[in-house]
Structure 1
Amino acid sequence: MADNDIEKLIEDLSAPGRRARQDAAHAVAALAAEDPAAVASHVEELCDALERPEAQTRWEVLSALTSLAAVDKEACAAAVESAEASLFDEDSSMVRLAAFRLIVQAGLGGAEEAGRVWPVLDEAVQCFHGDPEYRDMLVALVSFAQGPAPKDVRDALAERVSFDAEKSTLPYIKAYSQEIVEAAKADR
């Protein structure tokens, strides 16, 4: 995609019409999934787009930032702060899930990053336990448990999900919780 096309998409994230913003956000998320570097110089505008009223624009932008965070942790450091507000969006489980995934991805950037994001992830696990997006949050936590988190964070994560790993009556919660505990306790 040409630079001027990318610039137009980024501009359209601030368009006056909801539909134009949603379409632009969808295109930006698709572009970032294919070529994260294409949006790397637009983190500030992407973070600004997290303030739009419609949920789809916010979750698509969070997805774009997650793709970027996978390849450029420094570029998305500021986005994590914006994502934290989105993590507790009361109106959209899709926005909450997209924010959770971004924060997990940021935590995969290194031990220090994992330690920094863990308190927010821990709070989200407590808040959204049993909500529709919780299953997908557990999937993301498996990768976090397998990542570079320091031992104290991995221990806290294992403790957080240990009850469900042992006693949950919901098979998916029990299975993912067990997988998280095993990954968190694995020797590194």
Structure 2
Amino acid sequence: MGLTETLSKPGEMFGDMFQVATLDNVVQWGQSFSLWPYPFATACCGIEYMSTACADYDIARFGAERPSFSPRQADMILVLGTITYKMAPVLRQIYDQLAEPKFVISVGACASSGGMFHTYGVLQGVDRILPVDVYVPGCPPRPEAILDALVKLQKKVQSQGLEARRQEVMRKIEEINERNKPLVVA
């Protein structure tokens, strides 16, 4: 009777001594509990995000207690609030500077769909320039909703391999670039 017959799947406990898992599973588990957020706050959703770091909601329980204000030291960007067309290239540049693999959470109605600002100067959803992983509804969303989005992102990181993640992001970026291609009339 070998080890493969004893264990039905990776991650199963083998007695009280050790647990068998693949290296990818261990890396995904560790990465899911060490997401370092870069808060890109432009409106009232930023205030709600600040309350998640306080004692009542305590984002540290989920491994994201270290907000980074340098994109090179973060791997997750939280877009919090209204994004104008003038700010869109800056947001995209910050996204490009994030550490790999990159994750995006769109927080609030304004970041997700432009909110109540259906004007010529407001971007109608950050998914037009960034590959969004999780959307948080609300105007502004409650801190519990932001924490729920973080938990959903953690589950996504744990279940998705690095290569699958890379392919998903590349597909989304190609769609974004195709959608934003300028119209050329001959």
More helix by share: 1
**Do the structures match in fold with TM over 0.5?**
no
More strand by share: 2
Structure 1 length as normaliser, TM-score? 0.28
